[in-house]
Amino acid sequence: MSQEIPKPKAEIFDLRRVGNLPLLLTVLSAIGLIVSAIGAIVPSLRVQFAHSWLFAFFYFFTLGAGSLFWILVHHATDAEWSVVVRRVLENVAALLPKIFLAVVPVLLCAPILYHWWNIAPGVDELIDKKHNYLNTPFFLIRAAIYFGVFTFLATTLKRLSVKQDTDGSPRHTISLRRLTFPGIALFAVCLTFAAIDWLMSLDYKWVSTMWGVYIFAGAAGSSMSLLVLLVTWLRKLGYMSYVTEEHYHIMGKLMLAFCVFWAYIGFSQYMLIWYADIPEETRYFIRRNIGTWNYLSTILVAFRFFIPFPILLMQPLKKKPVWICSVAALLVTMQALDLYIIVMPMLHKTGYSLAALPFDVAALLAIGGPLALLFLKGLGKQSLVPVRDPRLELSLKLTN
């Protein structure tokens, strides 16, 4: 209480400090893009490419959307603790418009990804009944709406926050808060329907009303984990020394909350379907427990919930960057596995196929590499912390 906390000056990220990382990322993205392009061009590989690409796209989409969610919650609740790490979240969320570039191949490949696309009216009564929602023009219009909403929210939240760095007006804090109230509702609706459109409609016969929440739970938890990793990485480079173990503690608590929430929603969805035992519903889980998919599903449950849960439960471990980063890395990886199990069994119906591996890796590199490069480039354009946020001082001397 007695010692004074130094107010951070504007810290500008210097790309030179990361050494050869941009070069490495460029090479990796090039490899990823070339392999993906081969998959897209060769007709026999196109189905595999489409599924791998959808998986990779949605993975990065959830990470970006989750970061956007945390900024929205930060402003809506007038939070103090997250001021010091907010700019990192803003930089991740600002990638959302670019992430949406990656949806173009998904839309181009939609006829081979989504079976309802090619079914003529009158063939399947079910698809006729769903036709008002599942039809090509409306599908594309919805994609455009998601793009608009996510882009508007991410860029506006960042623009006003960066503007405050120069003029220091508390007015921005208030207008940001006003924006987030409708923003949260728009976010929830768009993420839910994006999850329904791009993932759930892979099997148009299957429905789950919990689907949107399930995807949201994974997105929020994994993007908080990503934030922990990014902040630790920046600290290793010598930036953000003002982030203390108290901030780590809060981030760990939120990781714990969403680790449990994901398990809660995932299990609720599973149990209701398992207990009711209706063929149209159980097909989802039967498909994901055939052959080797069963092992991957088990690994997901174990490493997404049972392993991180007791670690995150312990207060001292949440304050140790080594532990919290290991768990964060695990959760970010498990988010990829989660989406993989959602997408890939639709193509490889008998079990995991090694033929998918090169295209999965390529798609992850082809989307993740450029995004990482853009993130590094965007990071240096403004201070790493909102230097003139009115709540900054409270955030600096945070105690739990």
Partner 1 sequence: MALQPPRKVYALGAEFQTAGELFRAAEKVRDAGFKRWDVHSPFPIHGMDKAMGMGKSWLSAPVLIGGTSGFFFAMILTLVPSTVLYPVVVHGKPTSFFTTPAFFPIMFELTVLFSAFTTVFALLIFSQLPKWYHPLFNWERFSRVTDNGFFLVIEARDPKFSESKTREFLEGLGGQHVTLVHD
Q: List contacts with partner 1 (CB under 8 A).
A: 1, 267, 270-271, 274-275, 277, 315, 399
Distances (CA, A) of 224 to 22, 61, 133, 272, 364: 24, 14, 33, 28, 20
Tell the smallest beta-carbon distance from residue 176 to partner 1 (Å).
27
CB nearer partner 1, residue 91 or residue 269: 269
CB nearer partner 1, residue 20 or residue 399: 399
Tell the smallest beta-carbon distance from residue 102 to partner 1 (Å).
36
Tell the smallest beta-carbon distance from residue 275 to partner 1 (Å).
6
Tell the smallest beta-carbon distance from residue 274 to partner 1 (Å).
6
Tell the smallest beta-carbon distance from residue 315 to partner 1 (Å).
7
Tell the smallest beta-carbon distance from residue 282 to partner 1 (Å).
12
**Long-range contacts from 154-160, C-beta under 8 angstroms, 24+ separation:** 154/64, 154/68, 154/90, 154/93, 154/94, 154/96, 154/97, 155/94, 155/97, 157/68, 157/71, 157/72, 157/75, 157/90, 157/93, 157/183, 158/90, 158/91, 158/93, 158/94
Tell the smallest beta-carbon distance from residue 277 to partner 1 (Å).
7
CB nearer partner 1, residue 3 or residue 44: 3
CA atoms within 13 A on the CB side of 296: 25
CB nearer partner 1, residue 47 or residue 210: 210
CB nearer partner 1, residue 44 or residue 399: 399
Alpha carbon distance 82, 395 (integer Å): 7
Alpha carbon distance 400, 386 (integer Å): 21
**Long-range contacts from 392-395, C-beta under 8 angstroms, 24+ separation:** 392/7, 392/8, 392/83, 392/84, 393/5, 393/7, 394/80, 394/83, 395/80, 395/81, 395/82, 395/83, 395/84
CB nearer partner 1, residue 1 or residue 354: 1
CB nearer partner 1, residue 1 or residue 322: 1
